[in-house]
Each structure stands twice: as C-alpha cells, then as structure tokens.
Amino acid sequence: MRQYKQLPPDLELAPTLARRVNQLRELRNLTVKDLSKMTRFTLERVEDIEAGLESWLSATDRQRLAAALAIEPVLLQEVETRPKQGEKGEVENEAIIDAILNGARQLQCPQCGGQLQCSLQDALDLDGNPTRFAKAYCTKCPFILK
C-alpha cells in the first residue's frame, strides 16, 4: 500500500522541481542523505535535482522520489521541465522557413553555422491549391529543414 501523507492545507508548493523537492524534503524533516538512501539516488544526484541541474525524471525515479517524500508522483511531474531542444528547434526552423519564403538564400545552419542550401518548391496543398514549400539542407552537417 502506498501511503501519502497529508500536506499542510495552507502550503504553497514551490513552482520548480528543484525548489519543490527541497521544500518537501524539509517538510518531511529529511536530510539530503536520508532522501538519497530512501530513493537509492546518489547524494550528488539529490543535490543536482535540488540545484535544478536535473529538471525531469523517469517514471521509475519519479515514483521513488515521490514515495520517499510521501506525495503523489503527479506533484513532481507537474513541475518537471523537459529539455527545450525540440521547442527551440521548431522556432528556429520557422524563422528559416519565413526567411526562405521571403527570398533569403544565404542562410546559416542553426546547428553548425555552415551554409544552408535553400530553395522554394512549388507544390499543391491538401486542398489542391498551389503553395510553396521552403526547403533547406546544410552543406556541412546533416541538418535538413523539415
């Protein structure tokens, strides 16, 4: 049986994983060492999590940490942040697409800074209307605009 201990009703949970773990650990009167033992994470790992160096957990690790803190795993999950790479890449790609559609051809690869080979391709969209797609690939690295 999993046991969740009530949190104080007036408790305002910290907005980041790092601060929330630290907050809940102190609330449960646990030291970093206690938490490390209970989760079987290394001391350094617990410190990294509380320092914000590790900002998301695998399902197993989240469950261990939540069990040690006697809280529901969702309370950790809701403040975890996935690495932003994907998001940043999409924003960069959109900027490149815009530039190509506006006529730019001398663009830099967002990954290596090399020269991008850019072109516009005429095509039909899903409704059969003529449209243009921006295409680009890097001459130096495997980057391809998708």
Binding residues for Zn ion (CB under 5 A) = 109, 111-112, 114, 138, 140-141, 143
Structure tokens, 47: 């410190």
Nearer to Zn ion, 111 or 131 (CB): 111
H or E segment to which residue 122 belongs: strand 116-124
CB of 100 to Zn ion, least distance (A): 15
**How many helices, marked H, and strands, marked E, lie in the chain?**
6, 2
CB of 117 to Zn ion, least distance (A): 10
- Owner of token pair 């809940």: 24
Classify 118 as helix, strand or coil: strand
In whole angstroms, give the CA distance from residue 22 to residue 19. 5
Nearer to Zn ion, 33 or 140 (CB): 140
In whole angstroms, give the CA distance from residue 76 to residue 68. 12
CB of 103 to Zn ion, least distance (A): 21
Nearer to Zn ion, 8 or 142 (CB): 142
In whole angstroms, give the CA distance from residue 100 to residue 107. 8
Nearer to Zn ion, 56 or 137 (CB): 137
CB of 44 to Zn ion, least distance (A): 35
